[in-house]
Amino acid sequence: MARKKKERKLQLPDVILNEAKIEMISNREIIVDGCKGVVEYGENLIKLNIGELVLCLVGDNMIIESFDTGVAIIRGKFAEISFVS
């Protein structure tokens, strides 16, 4: 906790702080920077490991547009986004 406070004071970027940066364009596209891997990959559910949390995406026609060097771009029609610790 004390370390995190120090890091916050240094104003380091989120990715360096081992935290994912999530960017959404409407409910059509989501860019996850700092993705550690895929936990579950189903037809209507994708679970991504983003460090301390798991990002759950529920939707239709979901495509992993690219998954490279910790950046995942997922397109589709998202119905639900949730975080599981």
Segment lying near another protein (by CB under 8 A), choices 7-15, 22-30, 40-48, 50-58: 40-48
Task: Please select the residue that binds another protein; options are 34, 55, 62, 78, rule is CB under 8 A.
Answer: 62
Task: Please select the residue that binds another protein; options are 3, 26, 68, 84, rule is CB under 8 A.
Answer: 68
Structure tokens, 18: 């081992």
- Residues in contact with another protein, counted by CB under 8 A, come to a total of 15
Contacts of 67 (CB under 8 A, 6+ apart): 35, 38, 73
Task: Please select the residue that binds another protein; options are 13, 15, 37, 51, rule is CB under 8 A.
Answer: 37
